[in-house]
Amino acid sequence: MYRSKTNKPKFGSRWREHFGFTPSLEHDKSGVIWVHAVSVGEVLASKKLVEMLVSKYPEHQVLVTTTTSTGAEQVSKFELDVIHRYMPIDFSWCVKRFLKSVKPDLLLVIETEVWPNTLHCVSHFGIPSMLINGRLSKKSAANYQRVRSLISPVLNHFERILTVHADDAKRFENLGVSASKVIVTGSIKYDVDLELEIASKGQELRQTLGEERLVLIAASTHQGEDEQVIHAYKLAKKQIDNLLLVLVPRHPERFDGVSEMLVSKGLKVTRRSESDNVEVISDIDVYLGDTMGEMLIMMAASDLVFMGGSLIGKKVGGHNFIEPALLSKYCLTGPSYFNFTDLAQQLIDVDGLKVIQNSKDLGDAIVEGFENASQSKLRGEAAYDIVLKNRGALKKSLEAISLLPLFNQ
């Protein structure tokens, strides 16, 4: 975690916070609501919730913790009255020191970050906790079943577990969580509203890329996947001469290596971090998205989306399809998307998502997507309708939070 990597924000002297040496909070509020969002994805997912907490409970200071420095960087971009600290490592002595310093009244955990010592200490200090946006895949549930006698008491420390799907709720109950504690709310990620600047910045970027070009974005790609995307891109470009690839690797430490790989394959590359002063980018093959927190802008500037983490076996399990659907983009995915099975099936049912098996399949799907542009547009609109259909989790989550004794004294 502390190894220095190119393009990765440094912890600096704040590494001490991971061991519980956390500066006390300077605020004039009467209490602290603690929201834990481990890294970038969880931080972005929690932004609307945090915003609503700040508005609804002005007497409380909102504290957001992350484990990663990239997550911390995203919190720093919140234009909200929030304080950031790093999450202590899951040793009791680290957690206890943290709790004594920040004195939280409530812990809200975003997605399934289940740390036994942390939850035990929080409960021991009399601090209620709630799991928001809880997901539990079939694979993870099977692994937990092997240690059910150990995991069940940990999960029952939560006052409430708010799950994305009914299947998630059932899996938590099968691990020994009381059914009265589990509520199916849906995903708060559906309730994300696109900021106006996303559309405007997306249009600006599209003008820079060239409005006459057809733009494919490969989002959140992993090691071993970029080469497959490039192979598919080259296959598709034989039939689509003005095709441009926007490639966004998942992890910032890979940016430089991916750039070198692209050049070694004879491709003309421009990096987003180096293109601010370029009015129009022409005659390039790949626009490398090597910045953090700008995925939606690059997606808004694209015509067709491939979602990464899905072409490298069963290791990752894909990434969230909500963002492209929110932007009314037709999306492609590899066969490994087990982390988002329910949403994927909803999108497949309305033809808003297509599953491909390999790089050749991907090349063919890219060509088909652009040759039938009007159909792809309709598919993207159908995907957006699925987002609208699934909204409401934020309201349900806030209602569950408001029922806690903390807010009814």
Catalytic residues: 42
Three-state DSSP class for 31? Answer: strand
> Sheet of 129-134: strands edge to edge?
82-86, 60-66, 31-36, 106-110, 129-134, 160-163, 182-184
Query: Taking the alpha carbons of 295, 290, 340, 133 in that order, is the dihedral positive or negative?
Result: negative
Alpha carbon distance 366, 243 (integer Å): 10
Query: Buried b / exposed e across 374-398, counting CB within 10 Å, b at 16+?
Result: eebebbbebbbebbeebeebbebbb
Strands (E), 276-326: 286-288, 304-307
Residue type, 21: F
Other C-beta atoms lying within 10 Å of the C-beta of residue 257: 13
Nearest 5 degrees, angle CA 217-CA 296-CA 342? 80
Measured between its terminal Cα atoms, the distance across the chain in Å is: 41
Phi, psi angles (nearest 5°) of residue 36: -105, 120
Residues in the chain: 409
Phi, psi angles (nearest 5°) of residue 221: -80, 155
Other C-beta atoms lying within 10 Å of the C-beta of residue 261: 15
